[in-house]
Structure formats: structure tokens, C-alpha cells
Amino acid sequence: MTESENRGATTLPSDLFRDPACSTSARPVTVGGKWTALVLRCLEDGRPHRFTELRVPLHWITPKVLTETLRAMERDGFVSRTVHDEHPPRVEYALTPLGRSLLDPLDAACAWARTHGGAIADARDSYDTAAETR
């Protein structure tokens, strides 16, 4: 992050994705794209965030894919995109009320995954073992 990008930037909490049972691969329900739920988690504190702020906790997502995810979320009405008339331009993303309404169902899906994660892993192992013998 450059010095100008860092000015005014805030740090997202390190435990942002604190629930390993609710990782992208374990999540039973996907709203929007593969990364939508993780972006929701990044924005759930209610503050607007710059693209570079979102890149820190989502470092494994390429900038192109993060841009595509944010555009899709904006199109679906989950996030607002605000461009500030500055040089260089400053763009911030924030959850809309519709996006915030997804947080409770996301929490419920994560709770379900915590409860049933072992059964899912067992089913996958059984399936994979059976597939190897076919």
C-alpha cells in the first residue's frame, strides 16, 4: 500500500474470518458469487472501506476477482460504491440495508456448518473412497 493509500486507511480485525467451520468450501449456501460472504464479513462493521483495505484480509483473492465480486454485489444491491471527487479518486464500499440483511442468514448458515461439518467431511470421505474403487 502506498503512503497516499495508507492515509486514512483503517485496519480490519485479524479475526475477521474467525469461524473456520464457515470457510468458503464448508459454507452450505452461497449468495452471489463464491467470495460474496467473505466480502460481507469485511464490510459488516458498518463503515465504508476502500478497495485496498479489503485486499488485506482477502489477500488470496486476485484484484480482478475482488473487483468482479464487488461489481456483482453492487449490481445485486448488497453494497454501495461511493466515488469521492478527489485526486487521486477515492472509492469506498459499504453494505446497503439489503446487504446487511444477509448477515443473520450467513450467521445461521455458519452455525449449521459448525454443527454438521463433521458429517459433511465424513460424507465427502466416503464418496471419495467409493469413487476411487469405481
Question: Residues with Cβ < 8 Å from 92, sequence gap 6 or more?
Answer: 48, 49, 50, 81, 82, 84
Instruction: Pick 14 or 96 by higher pLDDT.
Output: 96
The predicted model scores a pTM of 0.72
| pLDDT of the residue at 81 | 97
Domains in the chain: how many in total?
Answer: 1
Q: Alpha-carbon distance 47 to 115, whole Å?
A: 31
Q: Which domain holds residue 97?
A: 3-133
Across the chain, what does the average pLDDT equal? Answer: 83
Instruction: With both helix axes pointing from N to C terminus, report the angle between 36-43 and 103-133 in degrees, rounded to the nearest 10.
Output: 150
State which amino acid sits at residue 40: L
Residue 82 · residue 39 · CB < 8 Å: no
Q: What is the mean pLDDT of residues 31-58?
A: 91
CATH of the domain at 123: 1.10.10.10
| pLDDT of the residue at 54 | 95
| pLDDT of the residue at 18 | 53
Residue 109 · residue 121 · CB < 8 Å: no
User: How far separated are the first and last CA of the chain, in Å rounded?
Assistant: 51
Q: pLDDT of 97-113, one tens digit each?
A: 999 999 999 899 888 88
Q: pLDDT of 119-129, one tens digit each?
A: 999 999 999 99
| pLDDT of the residue at 119 | 93
Q: Is 117 exposed, middle or buried (0-12, 13-18, 19+ CB in 10 A)?
A: middle
